[in-house]
């Protein structure tokens, strides 16, 4: 529906978003190594081995022949895999625009932990709502959704440039655009989707709520740190 382009919130504590950039570079490197030049069959094998397969995690689906890591570890590895260029680019755009300010508020180490926790929460929410599914979940969107949840709580009045419907540039308040994004995730749960399109909406919702909850608990300390 839209992609973010730029926000109006400057960094106040850190000089550069090293963790955010590192996460983006890792995601790009992993995609180049696994998905960019792989056949659909090879990508499916990688996804089933390193992505979250809810049925395997709950013990209701037998593991595949290619099972390189223990299933609980896929709660981490799944968020560094992507199914295509647009899947990767859209997640990394959201991360680039919003994560620097969350890294600024949390600090380097705490932000890295926060990001991973949101990704795990998103993955577990997906597993909870699809406990018997044999289909793998991959992508950074659960963790990125946690960043969005933190941003809307810490910087609701920030102004964000977005590209609406991929062609209309707009400058709009963070509370409106990100609140609208979350509402769209919830509404989409009740809307039919084409059979070849699979969006892990529960991972988005779980990651967002985890980011919101963690940030709410630490909000006074975080706002004191960035002087907002």
The confidence score (pLDDT) of residue 196 equals 45
107-118 pLDDT, tens per residue? 999 999 999 999
The confidence score (pLDDT) of residue 212 equals 97
Higher-pLDDT residue of 58, 195: 58
How remote is the C-alpha of 126 from its chain's centroid? 13
The residue written with tokens 């090293």 in the block is: 18
User: Where are any strands of DSSP class E within 52-165?
Assistant: 159-164
**Residue 57 CB contacts under 8 Å (≥ 6 apart), including other chains:** 71, 72, 74, 127
Asked if residues 209 and 149 have their Cβ atoms less than 8 Å apart, the reply is: yes
CA dist 25 → 73, 95, 114, 166, 201 (Å): 21, 11, 18, 24, 25
What structural domains does the chain harbor? 2-226 (1.20.1540.10)
Higher-pLDDT residue of 130, 66: 130
Q: Would you tell me how many other CB atoms lie within 10 Å of the CB of residue 116?
A: 16
The confidence score (pLDDT) of residue 144 equals 98
Say which DSSP state 73 is in.
Answer: G
- pTM, two decimal places: 0.93
Average pLDDT estimate for 123-135: 94
How far apart CA 23 and CA 92 sit, in angstroms, is 9
Asked if residues 82 and 91 have their Cβ atoms less than 8 Å apart, the reply is: yes
Token representation of residue 104:
């600024």
172-226 pLDDT, tens per residue? 999 999 999 999 999 988 876 654 445 789 999 999 999 999 999 999 999 999 9
How remote is the C-alpha of 162 from its chain's centroid? 18
116-125 pLDDT, tens per residue? 999 999 999 9
């Amino acid at each position: 529906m839209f992609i973010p382009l730029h926000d109006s919130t400057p960094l106040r504590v850190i000089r550069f978003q090293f963790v955010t950039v590192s996460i983006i570079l890792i995601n790009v490197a992993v995609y180049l190594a696994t998905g960019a030049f792989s056949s659909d069959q090879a990508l499916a094998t990688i996804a089933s081995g390193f992505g979250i397969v809810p049925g395997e995690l709950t013990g209701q689906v037998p593991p595949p022949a290619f099972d390189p890591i223990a299933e609980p570890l896929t709660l981490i590895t799944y968020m560094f895999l992507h199914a295509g260029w647009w899947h990767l680019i859209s997640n990394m755009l959201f991360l680039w625009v919003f994560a620097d300010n969350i890294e600024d508020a949390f600090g380097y180490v705490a932000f890295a932990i926060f990001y991973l926790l949101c990704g795990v929460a998103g993955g577990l929410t997906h597993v909870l709502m699809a406990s018997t599914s044999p289909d793998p979940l991959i992508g950074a969107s659960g963790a990125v959704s946690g960043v969005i949840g933190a941003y809307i709580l810490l910087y609701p009045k920030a102004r964000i440039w977005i590209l609406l419907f991929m062609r209309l540039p707009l400058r709009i308040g963070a509370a409106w655009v990100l609140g609208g994004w979350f509402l769209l995730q919830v509404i989409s749960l009740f809307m039919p989707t084409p059979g070849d399109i699979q969006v892990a909406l529960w991972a988005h919702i779980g990651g967002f709520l985890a980011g919101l909850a963690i940030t709410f608990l630490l909000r006074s300390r975080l706002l004191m740190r960035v002087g907002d």
